[in-house]
Amino acid sequence: MTPRHLLTLEDFSGKELRPLIDRALVLKNERQAGVHHQQLSGKIIGMIFEKPSTRTRASFEAAMYGLGGQVMFLSARDTQLARSEPLKDTARVMSRYVDGLVVRTFGQSVVEELAAYSSIPVINALTDLHHPCQVLSDVMTMFEKKGDIASLRVAWVGDGNNMANSWIQAAGKLGFSLTLACPEGYEPDAGILAKSQAQAAKAITLGREPAQAVKNADVVNVDVWASMGQEDEQIARRAVFSRYRLDDKLMALAAANAIVMHCLPVHRGEEISESLFEAQAETIFDQAENKMHMHKAILEAFL
Ligand code: CP
Ligand code: NVA
Protein backbone atom coordinates (compact mmCIF):
# COMPACT_ATOMS: atom_id res chain seq x y z
CA MET A 1 0.00 0.00 0.00
CA THR A 2 1.31 3.45 -0.90
CA PRO A 3 1.72 5.48 2.30
CA ARG A 4 0.31 8.98 2.72
CA HIS A 5 3.04 11.58 3.06
CA LEU A 6 2.94 15.07 4.60
CA LEU A 7 5.03 17.14 2.20
CA THR A 8 2.84 20.25 1.81
CA LEU A 9 -0.57 21.32 3.11
CA GLU A 10 -1.76 21.48 -0.51
CA ASP A 11 -2.10 17.69 -0.50
CA PHE A 12 -4.90 17.81 2.10
CA SER A 13 -8.43 19.15 2.31
CA GLY A 14 -9.60 21.38 5.14
CA LYS A 15 -11.73 18.44 6.28
CA GLU A 16 -8.57 16.35 6.65
CA LEU A 17 -6.54 19.06 8.39
CA ARG A 18 -9.16 20.13 10.90
CA PRO A 19 -9.23 16.77 12.81
CA LEU A 20 -5.45 17.01 13.31
CA ILE A 21 -5.98 20.28 15.15
CA ASP A 22 -8.78 18.85 17.27
CA ARG A 23 -6.76 15.75 18.05
CA ALA A 24 -3.68 17.79 19.04
CA LEU A 25 -5.83 19.76 21.50
CA VAL A 26 -7.15 16.51 23.01
CA LEU A 27 -3.61 15.12 23.31
CA LYS A 28 -2.52 18.35 24.99
CA ASN A 29 -5.31 18.09 27.57
CA GLU A 30 -4.58 14.43 28.15
CA ARG A 31 -0.90 15.12 28.76
CA GLN A 32 -1.85 17.80 31.30
CA ALA A 33 -4.20 15.26 32.95
CA GLY A 34 -1.37 12.70 33.17
CA VAL A 35 -2.87 10.25 30.65
CA HIS A 36 -0.29 7.66 29.58
CA HIS A 37 -0.13 6.93 25.84
CA GLN A 38 1.34 3.86 24.16
CA GLN A 39 -0.34 3.85 20.73
CA LEU A 40 2.99 4.02 18.86
CA SER A 41 4.67 1.37 20.97
CA GLY A 42 6.93 -0.75 18.76
CA LYS A 43 7.17 1.98 16.08
CA ILE A 44 10.33 3.87 15.17
CA ILE A 45 10.73 7.10 13.22
CA GLY A 46 13.94 8.07 11.44
CA MET A 47 14.72 11.77 11.45
CA ILE A 48 17.03 13.00 8.68
CA PHE A 49 18.03 16.63 9.26
CA GLU A 50 20.20 18.62 6.83
CA LYS A 51 19.61 21.93 8.63
CA PRO A 52 19.83 22.83 12.34
CA SER A 53 16.77 22.55 14.57
CA THR A 54 15.92 22.93 18.23
CA ARG A 55 12.12 22.89 18.39
CA THR A 56 11.15 20.65 15.50
CA ARG A 57 13.66 17.98 16.39
CA ALA A 58 13.00 18.06 20.14
CA SER A 59 9.21 18.23 19.76
CA PHE A 60 9.07 15.35 17.26
CA GLU A 61 11.29 13.28 19.55
CA ALA A 62 9.24 14.15 22.64
CA ALA A 63 6.03 13.44 20.70
CA MET A 64 7.23 10.03 19.58
CA TYR A 65 8.44 9.03 23.05
CA GLY A 66 5.23 10.43 24.53
CA LEU A 67 3.23 7.99 22.39
CA GLY A 68 5.41 5.03 23.34
CA GLY A 69 7.49 5.01 20.15
CA GLN A 70 11.19 5.43 19.50
CA VAL A 71 13.34 7.78 17.45
CA MET A 72 16.48 7.42 15.36
CA PHE A 73 18.04 10.83 14.66
CA LEU A 74 20.33 11.01 11.64
CA SER A 75 22.33 14.15 11.07
CA ALA A 76 22.61 14.17 7.30
CA ARG A 77 26.29 15.07 7.38
CA ASP A 78 27.06 11.85 9.26
CA THR A 79 25.25 9.66 6.74
CA GLN A 80 26.24 8.51 3.27
CA LEU A 81 23.95 11.27 1.93
CA ALA A 82 26.89 13.57 2.66
CA ARG A 83 28.91 11.40 0.25
CA SER A 84 26.21 11.61 -2.43
CA GLU A 85 24.41 8.32 -1.88
CA PRO A 86 21.23 8.77 -3.93
CA LEU A 87 18.03 9.76 -2.13
CA LYS A 88 16.16 6.93 -3.84
CA ASP A 89 18.51 4.40 -2.28
CA THR A 90 18.41 6.07 1.14
CA ALA A 91 14.61 6.01 1.03
CA ARG A 92 14.44 2.31 0.20
CA VAL A 93 17.00 1.38 2.86
CA MET A 94 15.36 3.43 5.61
CA SER A 95 11.96 1.95 4.69
CA ARG A 96 13.34 -1.44 5.78
CA TYR A 97 14.30 -0.17 9.27
CA VAL A 98 11.76 2.38 10.46
CA ASP A 99 8.04 3.18 10.23
CA GLY A 100 8.24 6.81 9.15
CA LEU A 101 10.74 9.49 8.11
CA VAL A 102 10.77 13.06 9.37
CA VAL A 103 12.97 15.15 7.09
CA ARG A 104 14.38 18.69 7.25
CA THR A 105 16.25 19.76 4.17
CA PHE A 106 16.77 22.46 1.52
CA GLY A 107 14.91 21.60 -1.69
CA GLN A 108 11.31 20.47 -1.72
CA SER A 109 12.45 18.01 -4.40
CA VAL A 110 14.44 16.15 -1.71
CA VAL A 111 11.35 15.26 0.35
CA GLU A 112 9.44 14.53 -2.85
CA GLU A 113 12.09 12.09 -4.06
CA LEU A 114 12.38 10.41 -0.65
CA ALA A 115 8.59 10.03 -0.61
CA ALA A 116 8.50 8.63 -4.13
CA TYR A 117 10.84 5.80 -3.13
CA SER A 118 9.68 5.20 0.47
CA SER A 119 7.22 2.54 1.50
CA ILE A 120 6.77 4.50 4.76
CA PRO A 121 5.30 7.99 5.34
CA VAL A 122 7.63 10.95 4.82
CA ILE A 123 6.90 14.06 6.89
CA ASN A 124 8.30 17.46 5.89
CA ALA A 125 9.96 19.07 8.92
CA LEU A 126 10.90 22.19 6.87
CA THR A 127 12.19 22.78 3.39
CA ASP A 128 13.08 26.02 1.62
CA LEU A 129 9.51 26.04 0.24
CA HIS A 130 7.27 24.79 3.08
CA HIS A 131 7.01 24.29 6.85
CA PRO A 132 3.67 22.48 7.02
CA CYS A 133 3.91 20.91 10.49
CA GLN A 134 4.84 24.29 12.00
CA VAL A 135 1.88 26.03 10.43
CA LEU A 136 -0.49 23.28 11.55
CA SER A 137 0.58 23.78 15.15
CA ASP A 138 0.40 27.55 14.66
CA VAL A 139 -3.20 27.26 13.47
CA MET A 140 -3.85 25.11 16.54
CA THR A 141 -2.42 27.92 18.72
CA MET A 142 -4.50 30.50 16.90
CA PHE A 143 -7.62 28.41 17.49
CA GLU A 144 -6.73 27.91 21.15
CA LYS A 145 -6.17 31.63 21.71
CA LYS A 146 -8.79 33.14 19.44
CA GLY A 147 -11.48 30.54 18.75
CA ASP A 148 -13.38 30.10 15.50
CA ILE A 149 -10.69 29.95 12.82
CA ALA A 150 -12.94 30.98 9.93
CA SER A 151 -13.69 34.39 11.43
CA LEU A 152 -10.06 35.33 12.02
CA ARG A 153 -8.07 37.97 10.16
CA VAL A 154 -4.46 36.84 9.98
CA ALA A 155 -1.52 38.99 8.89
CA TRP A 156 1.91 37.99 7.63
CA VAL A 157 4.60 40.69 7.71
CA GLY A 158 8.05 40.18 6.19
CA ASP A 159 9.66 37.61 3.96
CA GLY A 160 7.55 35.51 1.59
CA ASN A 161 9.39 32.42 2.79
CA ASN A 162 8.60 28.76 3.57
CA MET A 163 6.40 29.79 6.51
CA ALA A 164 4.50 32.30 4.38
CA ASN A 165 3.87 29.65 1.71
CA SER A 166 2.50 27.20 4.27
CA TRP A 167 0.34 29.92 5.85
CA ILE A 168 -1.10 30.69 2.42
CA GLN A 169 -1.98 27.04 1.90
CA ALA A 170 -3.49 26.83 5.41
CA ALA A 171 -5.67 29.87 4.67
CA GLY A 172 -6.79 28.30 1.39
CA LYS A 173 -7.75 25.06 3.12
CA LEU A 174 -9.07 26.23 6.49
CA GLY A 175 -10.87 29.36 5.39
CA PHE A 176 -9.46 32.27 7.42
CA SER A 177 -8.51 35.54 5.78
CA LEU A 178 -4.80 36.23 5.27
CA THR A 179 -3.14 39.52 4.34
CA LEU A 180 0.56 39.47 3.57
CA ALA A 181 2.93 42.41 3.35
CA CYS A 182 6.24 41.50 1.68
CA PRO A 183 8.89 43.67 0.03
CA GLU A 184 9.27 43.60 -3.75
CA GLY A 185 11.42 40.65 -4.77
CA TYR A 186 10.65 38.76 -1.55
CA GLU A 187 7.14 37.59 -2.31
CA PRO A 188 5.83 34.11 -1.53
CA ASP A 189 5.77 31.50 -4.30
CA ALA A 190 3.48 32.86 -7.04
CA GLY A 191 2.07 29.45 -7.99
CA ILE A 192 1.21 28.57 -4.40
CA LEU A 193 -0.44 31.96 -3.89
CA ALA A 194 -2.55 31.74 -7.06
CA LYS A 195 -3.68 28.19 -6.36
CA SER A 196 -4.65 28.92 -2.75
CA GLN A 197 -6.42 32.15 -3.72
CA ALA A 198 -8.50 30.18 -6.21
CA GLN A 199 -9.69 27.68 -3.58
CA ALA A 200 -9.98 30.02 -0.57
CA ALA A 201 -13.28 30.85 1.10
CA LYS A 202 -11.81 34.12 2.46
CA ALA A 203 -9.46 36.61 0.82
CA ILE A 204 -5.74 35.92 0.63
CA THR A 205 -4.13 39.24 -0.27
CA LEU A 206 -0.52 40.15 -1.01
CA GLY A 207 0.59 43.76 -0.66
CA ARG A 208 3.66 45.82 0.25
CA GLU A 209 2.46 47.81 3.25
CA PRO A 210 2.97 46.37 6.75
CA ALA A 211 0.37 48.79 8.16
CA GLN A 212 -2.23 47.59 5.71
CA ALA A 213 -1.64 43.94 6.64
CA VAL A 214 -1.68 44.56 10.39
CA LYS A 215 -4.72 46.85 10.40
CA ASN A 216 -7.57 45.12 12.30
CA ALA A 217 -5.72 41.77 12.29
CA ASP A 218 -6.48 39.29 15.08
CA VAL A 219 -3.21 37.43 14.61
CA VAL A 220 0.05 38.91 13.32
CA ASN A 221 2.77 36.54 12.15
CA VAL A 222 6.42 37.40 11.74
CA ASP A 223 9.51 35.33 10.97
CA VAL A 224 13.22 35.94 10.42
CA TRP A 225 14.27 38.09 7.47
CA ALA A 226 16.95 35.61 6.37
CA SER A 227 16.06 31.92 6.62
CA MET A 228 18.45 29.01 7.03
CA GLY A 229 20.59 28.81 3.93
CA GLN A 230 20.32 32.59 3.30
CA GLU A 231 22.99 33.62 5.80
CA ASP A 232 25.00 35.36 3.03
CA GLU A 233 22.04 37.67 2.34
CA GLN A 234 21.53 38.66 5.96
CA ILE A 235 23.07 42.13 5.73
CA ALA A 236 21.42 43.04 2.43
CA ARG A 237 18.07 41.83 3.73
CA ARG A 238 18.33 44.00 6.86
CA ALA A 239 18.22 47.08 4.65
CA VAL A 240 15.30 45.84 2.54
CA PHE A 241 13.21 44.67 5.50
CA SER A 242 13.83 47.44 8.05
CA ARG A 243 10.40 48.98 7.52
CA TYR A 244 8.79 45.56 8.06
CA ARG A 245 9.83 45.39 11.74
CA LEU A 246 6.85 44.67 13.98
CA ASP A 247 6.88 47.01 16.97
CA ASP A 248 4.35 48.50 19.39
CA LYS A 249 3.48 51.30 16.97
CA LEU A 250 2.67 48.95 14.10
CA MET A 251 0.92 46.50 16.39
CA ALA A 252 -1.33 49.29 17.69
CA LEU A 253 -3.13 49.11 14.33
CA ALA A 254 -4.22 45.51 14.97
CA ALA A 255 -7.55 44.51 16.51
CA ALA A 256 -8.01 44.77 20.28
CA ASN A 257 -6.27 41.84 22.06
CA ALA A 258 -4.56 40.72 18.86
CA ILE A 259 -1.77 38.21 19.30
CA VAL A 260 1.66 37.99 17.72
CA MET A 261 3.00 34.64 16.61
CA HIS A 262 6.60 33.74 15.76
CA CYS A 263 7.75 30.22 14.94
CA LEU A 264 11.20 30.98 16.47
CA PRO A 265 14.13 31.33 16.57
CA VAL A 266 13.67 35.12 16.78
CA HIS A 267 16.09 37.87 15.81
CA ARG A 268 15.13 40.47 18.39
CA GLY A 269 15.34 44.00 17.04
CA GLU A 270 15.04 42.77 13.45
CA GLU A 271 11.62 41.34 12.56
CA ILE A 272 10.19 42.23 15.98
CA SER A 273 11.16 44.69 18.70
CA GLU A 274 12.46 43.28 21.95
CA SER A 275 9.63 44.83 23.99
CA LEU A 276 6.83 43.52 21.75
CA PHE A 277 8.40 40.07 21.67
CA GLU A 278 8.57 39.94 25.46
CA ALA A 279 5.03 41.29 25.80
CA GLN A 280 3.81 38.44 23.56
CA ALA A 281 6.17 35.80 24.92
CA GLU A 282 3.48 33.71 26.57
CA THR A 283 1.65 33.19 23.28
CA ILE A 284 4.89 32.55 21.41
CA PHE A 285 6.13 29.92 23.85
CA ASP A 286 2.69 28.27 23.94
CA GLN A 287 3.07 28.18 20.16
CA ALA A 288 6.41 26.39 20.58
CA GLU A 289 4.85 23.93 23.05
CA ASN A 290 2.00 23.17 20.68
CA LYS A 291 4.47 21.82 18.12
CA MET A 292 4.84 18.76 20.35
CA HIS A 293 1.09 18.18 20.65
CA MET A 294 0.56 18.66 16.93
CA HIS A 295 3.45 16.35 16.10
CA LYS A 296 1.81 13.68 18.25
CA ALA A 297 -1.41 14.09 16.27
CA ILE A 298 0.54 13.91 12.99
CA LEU A 299 2.56 10.84 13.99
CA GLU A 300 -0.55 9.06 15.22
CA ALA A 301 -2.41 9.81 11.97
CA PHE A 302 0.40 9.06 9.51
CA LEU A 303 2.03 6.07 11.21
N1 CP B 1 10.27 26.74 14.53
C2 CP B 1 11.17 25.81 14.21
O3 CP B 1 11.02 25.04 13.24
O4 CP B 1 12.27 25.82 15.02
P5 CP B 1 13.57 24.91 14.87
O6 CP B 1 14.33 25.43 13.66
O7 CP B 1 14.32 25.11 16.15
O8 CP B 1 13.15 23.50 14.65
N1 NVA C 1 11.91 30.68 7.79
C2 NVA C 1 12.74 30.09 8.80
C3 NVA C 1 11.95 29.23 9.71
C4 NVA C 1 12.73 28.62 10.84
C5 NVA C 1 11.94 27.69 11.68
C6 NVA C 1 13.85 29.29 8.16
O7 NVA C 1 13.58 28.57 7.19
O8 NVA C 1 14.98 29.38 8.61
Between strands 259-262 and 219-222, the pairing is parallel
Instruction: Measure the CA–CA gap between 33 and 229, rounded to whole angstroms.
Output: 41
> For residue 239, how far is its CA from the centre of ligand 2 (angstroms)?
19
Taking only the tens place, the pLDDT of each residue in 84-99 is: 999 999 999 999 999 9
**pLDDT tens by residue, 233-250:** 999 999 999 999 999 999
263 Cβ below 6 A of ligand 1: yes
pLDDT of residue 1: 74
Domains of the chain by start residue, with CATH: 9-131+291-302 (3.40.50.1370), 134-288 (3.40.50.1370)
pLDDT in tens, 145-172: 999 899 999 999 999 999 999 999 999 9
56 lines ligand 1 (CB under 6 A): yes
CA of 55 to the centre of ligand 1 (A): 5
pTM of the model: 0.98
Cα angle, residue 168 at apex, residues 139 and 198 outer, rounded to 5°:
125
Nearest CA to ligand 2 atom 6: 227
**Residues ≥6 apart with Cβ < 8 Å to 80:** 90
Q: Give burial (CB, 10 Å; 0-12/13-18/19+) of 188.
A: buried
Res 76: pLDDT: 87
Gap from CA of 42 to ligand 2 centroid (Å): 32
Closest ligand 2 atom to Cα of 223: 1
Specify which residues 122 forms β-bridges with: 101
Q: How far does residue 295's CA lie from ligand 1's centre (Å)?
A: 13
Find the 1 Cα to ligand 1 centroid distance in Å: 32
* Ligand that comes closest to the CA of residue 159: 2
pLDDT score of 195: 98
**HEC assignment per residue over the chain:** CCCCCECCHHHCCHHHHHHHHHHHHHHHHHHHCCCCCCCCCCCEEEEEECCCCCHHHHHHHHHHHHCCCEEEEEEHHHCHHHHCCCHHHHHHHHHHHCCEEEEECCCHHHHHHHHHHCCCCEEECCCCCCCHHHHHHHHHHHHHHHCCHHHCEEEEECCCCHHHHHHHHHHHHHCCEEEEECCCCCCCCHHHHHHHHHHCCCCEEEECCHHHHHCCCCEEEECCCCCCCCHHHHHHHHHHHHHHCECHHHHCCCCCCCEEEECCCCCECCCECHHHHHHCHHHHHHHHHHHHHHHHHHHHHHC
Q: What is the mean pLDDT of the chain?
A: 97
Tell whether omega for the bond before 86 is within 30 degrees of 0, i.e. cis. Answer: no
Number of the ligand closest to the Cα of 53: 1
Judged by its nearest atom, the ligand closest to the C-alpha of residue 294 is: 1
Q: CB–CB of 218/145 below 8 Å?
A: no
Q: For the chain, which residues score pLDDT lower than 50?
A: none
Which residue puts its alpha carbon closest to atom 1 of ligand 2? 227
